[in-house]
Amino acid sequence: MRDSQSVFAAAKSATMQVVQAEPLNAGAPLDELVNAYIQPNSQFFVRTHGTVPTLDPETTSITIHGLIAEPWSISVGEIKQQLPYVEQVATLQCAGNRRQEMHAYKAIYGELPWGANGLSTARWGGAPLRALLEHCAIQPAAKHLLGLSYDQVERHGQTFGYGGSIPLNEPMIEHALLAYTMNGEALPALHGGPLRLLIPGIVGARSIKWLRSLEFSAEPSHNYFQRRAYRLAQSSEPEAWHKAPMLHELPVNAVVCQPAPDQTLATGVITLAGYAITGGQALIERVEISLDQGQHWQTANLIDEPKLGCWSRWQADLELVAGEYECWVRATDTLGQQQPDQPAWNVKGYHHNAIQRLHLTVR
């Protein structure tokens, strides 16, 4: 095992903003984030819960077991040799993205203070998950696919591997990868190398890094990160946690990345730039800007063609005279899902997607 900070120092841009030093969590500055549709590996956001495993890029194996005819294993090298290779662009997003804004609405304790930079986009390569599933004689009772990581995480006095699950009837499984390349390079250890799950459109917590095993089960994973963390609980009471929904699809969201919130702007045409994203099988349909608290909306230009499981950057030109403005931004997707006016507050600060409000000073 390696500490994530030493791996980070060797692999990441000096401008990355560290949210937590160990285990490492970091993201690119917002104004840099939207300069490119695909982020280089050195600027891709980092979300870790424990140590970074040291694993052989060829001989490391994953075990497939549970409700199938018989358990078996396959190495990363065998996956490369025996299963087809495909590439696709996809955005991964942390469940805590925009948590600082939710905290400003109502306090959130004991969680990482993520801004709106807890996401990134890359070109991923690997074997389609479906190709591996076709080699499994799955029993009818199997309803969920459980993943487990080689990493080591400590919670409440116990040490275990990170884990999570997705329903087997999840449509985005058809787009999921057993990824072993990232932007044309071998998948870096910091991002799950030598092998990770990649499930576009679903919260990043389910795209398990350093993949150790896949299990077919009648129930969702009993791992801490499926049953306890990553749930939308409204209080810390045990009953509230038990009833709270587990995180799954990403919510529709839009964020302003440029200009910076505290920047004083010159009168005239001001360009706003940012990103929008949604989850599941939806696509971003439009992004809108309002300067009168939602009475009137101006449609922004989408720079990138909306694609399944990917963000779209947007831009809007506003002609402003001197004054103070409250700028609202919201996104709508092709399923009619639109950002709400107010946050859906929860104990962990997950899935914040309320209309973003930005104060603009024009002189």
pLDDT in tens, 115-159: 999 999 999 999 999 999 999 999 999 999 999 999 999 999 999
201 and 99 in a single domain? The answer is yes
Residue 294 falls in which region: left (phi positive, over 0), alpha (psi -120 to 50) or beta: left
In CATH, what number is assigned to the domain containing residue 306?
2.60.40.650
Last-in-domain residue among 200, 216, 243:
243
Q: Is residue 248 part of a domain?
A: no
Half-sphere exposure of 26 (CA within 13 A, CB side): 24
Domain containing 219 equals 4-243
Q: Are residues 176 and 203 in the same domain?
A: yes
CA dihedral 78, 82, 84, 87 (to 10 degrees): 10
Do 60 and 198 lie in a common domain? yes
For 149-167, write each residue's pLDDT tens digit: 999 999 999 999 999 999 9
Average pLDDT value for residue range 318-336 = 97
Per-residue pLDDT at 76 exceeds 80: yes
Whether the predicted pLDDT of 4 surpasses 60? no
Query: What is the Cβ-side half-sphere exposure of residue 355, based on CA atoms within 13 angstroms?
Result: 19
Q: Show the tokens assigned to 172.
A: 């985005």
Residue 96 tokens, joined: 């805590």
CA nearest neighbour of 193 among 202, 29, 308, 183? 183
pLDDT > 70 in the chain, percent:
97
Mean confidence (pLDDT) of the chain:
95
* Through-space distance between the first and last CA atoms of the chain, rounded to whole angstroms: 53
Q: Same structural domain for residues 205 and 315?
A: no
Dump pLDDT digits (tens) for 266-294.
Answer: 999 999 999 999 999 999 999 999 999 99
pLDDT attached to residue 260 = 87
Same domain? For 289 and 175 the reply is no
Residues 176 and 56 in one domain: yes
Cα angle 278-283-284, degrees, rounded to a multiple of 5: 70
pTM: 0.95
The pLDDT-based confidence of 196 (bands split at 50, 70, 90) is: very high
Share of the chain above pLDDT 90, in %: 93
